[in-house]
């Protein structure tokens, strides 16, 4: 029975204090890679924030131009209405003569 307990103890998972140098180097490279990746992401975020600020200014001027365009369209409709009325009046005057 003691042999069975000894076999069970030997087959269990355990952590050994001896860690190969290759694994340590691999972890260090991974850690460095993560730092490099996240620093790149951070610079990308800063760049996107700057472009967002620039786009906000462009959007503001675009909306102002759009409002101007709509007011010009309203003016154009009024002018076309007046021209239609004038055309009708001129036609009536010419018909009288």
Q: What is the pTM of this model?
A: 0.38
| Domain, as residue range, for 90 | 2-96
Q: Write the pLDDT tens digit of every residue in 39-95.
A: 888 888 888 888 888 888 888 888 999 989 988 998 899 999 999 999 999 988 888
How many Cα atoms within 13 Å fall on the side-chain side of residue 74?
6
Which token pair is 73? 């369209």
Domain count, the chain: 1
């Amino acid at each position: 029975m003691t042999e069975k307990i000894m076999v069970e103890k030997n087959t269990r998972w355990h952590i050994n204090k001896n860690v190969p140098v290759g694994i340590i180097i691999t972890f260090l490279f991974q850690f460095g890679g993560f730092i490099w990746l996240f620093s790149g992401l951070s610079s990308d975020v800063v760049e996107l924030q700057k472009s967002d600020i620039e786009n906000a200014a462009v959007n503001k001027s675009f909306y102002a131009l759009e409002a101007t365009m709509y007011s010009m369209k309203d003016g154009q409709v009024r002018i076309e209405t007046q021209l239609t009325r004038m055309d009708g009046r001129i036609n009536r005057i010419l018909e009288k003569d």
